[in-house]
């Protein structure tokens, strides 16, 4: 773990939980004051974007920063681009800066998904933890309102999960993809269009949608996007890559961005194209290159 401070900025329904200012800050029990969670409840707008960027800029010199943007507040891949592109190269690379999109309750931010996460019922840190003696009652599972402090194990858990979230998603996509195509693995020659026809089969639908998201071919507001949202709900996990690609191109670095672009090209060429020969080892090679340059561990 880095010695730098860790700051999480979460844009969510905090006003339902009593947030009256534009934002407020919660420190973490047992850590120096520089470790904090900033609550903000701003819908996507130019002013909202500026406020988030300004807030992030204030912390980048001394802290690693994770930004969590709620999709239902209107945030999307483009919003991430707006926020991150407004920062200088120095600001983007001086620290670990990641920007995530979340929503619909299936992310590892939610206590309902992960008991050691942060977000409780709408706008609060409170949740029913299913503990003995608390039958049906909401308890302050995450924070102590009296001291304005978060419990450190919850803060640490979310930070750790999201530190590795991008890489784990890429790794799982690679494994799922190669598993799906395992029948082709020993063919000396995969006929043109064969992989595309195969990925379009109903049993491979989710993989197809994830590949579209990964390669940036899923339009905002499209039926495909709605379909993937439904899959997220069904699978109870984060499946979109819209935040990932922007982060990779902006905050990870040029090399990472270039390798990602090569991988996207390889997928388009070998899988989405109906012409030419498909080469699975080549796709695997590109995946492994990308995974090797992402410095974090795949899993915690």
Partner 1 sequence: MREILCVASQLQVVNAMKKYFTDGGFKFCHLALPVSDEALLVGSDTVVVLMSPIVCNGKYLSAELPWKQYLREHLPNNLLIIAGFSDFQGDNYLDLLHLPKNIKAFLNRAEIAGGSWEPAYTGGLDVAEQLRRFFEGHGDESVTDELNNTLRILKIARDEMKRHQAEYQSVWKDLLLANRLPSKWNTLNNRWINYYPNFECLPFFGTFVQVNLALQHIAPYFNSNCEEEALFWELDCIEHLEHAKSALVKIEQHYVK
**Rule CB under 8 A: is residue 295 a binding residue for partner 1?**
no
Distance of closest approach, residue 190 Cβ to partner 1, in angstroms: 12
**Rule CB under 8 A: is residue 186 a binding residue for partner 1?**
yes
Angle between helices 152-180 and 205-214 (to 10 degrees): 110
Residue 32 or 132: which CB sits closer to partner 1? 132
From the list 190, 183, 166, the residue with the least C-alpha distance to 269 is 190
Distance of closest approach, residue 188 Cβ to partner 1, in angstroms: 11
Question: What DSSP assignment string belongs to 36-93?
Answer: EEEEE---SSHHHHHHHHHHHHHHHTTEEEEEEEEGGGT--HHHHHHHHHTS-HHHHH
d(CA 160, CA 171): 17
d(CA 282, CA 289): 11
Stretch that binds partner 1, among 10-18, 45-53, 81-89, 282-290 (CB under 8 A): 282-290
From the list 33, 87, 38, 84, the residue with the least C-alpha distance to 62 is 33
Contact 92, 35 (CB under 8 A): no
Stretch that binds partner 1, among 1-9, 35-43, 59-67, 126-134 (CB under 8 A): 126-134
Residue 22 or 189: which CB sits closer to partner 1? 189
Residue from 115, 145, 191, 276 binding partner 1 (CB under 8 A):
115
Distance of closest approach, residue 113 Cβ to partner 1, in angstroms: 12
Q: List the structure tokens of 120.
A: 């409780």
**Rule CB under 8 A: is residue 188 a binding residue for partner 1?**
no
**Rule CB under 8 A: is residue 136 a binding residue for partner 1?**
no
Residue from 123, 285, 293, 296 binding partner 1 (CB under 8 A):
285
Residue positions counted in the chain: 300
**Rule CB under 8 A: is residue 183 a binding residue for partner 1?**
yes
Residue from 185, 222, 230, 295 binding partner 1 (CB under 8 A):
185
Distance of closest approach, residue 173 Cβ to partner 1, in angstroms: 11
Distance of closest approach, residue 178 Cβ to partner 1, in angstroms: 4
DSSP 176: H
Contact 256, 293 (CB under 8 A): yes
Distance of closest approach, residue 183 Cβ to partner 1, in angstroms: 6
Contact 52, 9 (CB under 8 A): yes
**Rule CB under 8 A: is residue 291 a binding residue for partner 1?**
yes
Residues that bind partner 1 (CB under 8 A): 115, 131-133, 171-172, 174-175, 178-180, 182-183, 185-186, 237, 280-281, 284-285, 288, 291, 298-299
């Amino acid at each position: 773990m880095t010695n730098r401070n860790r700051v999480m900025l979460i844009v969510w329904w905090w006003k339902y939980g009593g947030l009256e200012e534009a934002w407020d800050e919660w420190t973490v029990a047992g850590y120096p004051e520089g470790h904090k969670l900033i609550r903000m409840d701003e819908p996507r707008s130019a002013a909202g974007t500026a406020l988030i960027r300004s807030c992030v800029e204030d912390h980048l010199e001394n802290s690693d920063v994770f930004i969590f943007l709620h999709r239902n507040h209107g945030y999307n891949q483009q919003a991430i681009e707006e926020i991150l592109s407004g920062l200088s190269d120095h600001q983007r690379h001086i620290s670990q800066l990641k920007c995530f999109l979340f929503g619909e309750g299936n992310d590892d931010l939610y206590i309902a998904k992960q008991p050691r996460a942060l977000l409780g019922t709408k706008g609060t840190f409170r949740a029913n933890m299913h503990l003995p003696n608390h039958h049906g009652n909401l308890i302050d599972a995450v924070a102590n309102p009296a001291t304005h402090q978060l419990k450190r194990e919850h803060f640490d858990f979310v930070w750790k999960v999201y530190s590795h979230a991008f890489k784990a998603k890429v790794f799982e996509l690679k494994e799922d993809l190669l598993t799906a195509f395992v029948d082709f693995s020993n063919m000396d020659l995969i006929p043109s269009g064969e992989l595309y026809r195969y990925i379009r089969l109903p049993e491979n639908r989710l993989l197809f949608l994830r590949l579209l998201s990964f390669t940036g071919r899923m339009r905002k507001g499209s039926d495909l996007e709605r379909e993937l949202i439904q899959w997220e709900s069904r699978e109870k996990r984060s499946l979109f890559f819209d935040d990932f690609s922007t982060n990779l191109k902006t905050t990870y670095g040029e090399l990472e961005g270039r390798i990602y672009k090569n991988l996207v090209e390889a997928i388009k060429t070998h899988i989405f194209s109906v012409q030419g020969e498909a080469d699975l080892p080549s796709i695997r090679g590109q995946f492994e290159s990308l995974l090797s340059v992402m410095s974090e561990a795949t899993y915690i």
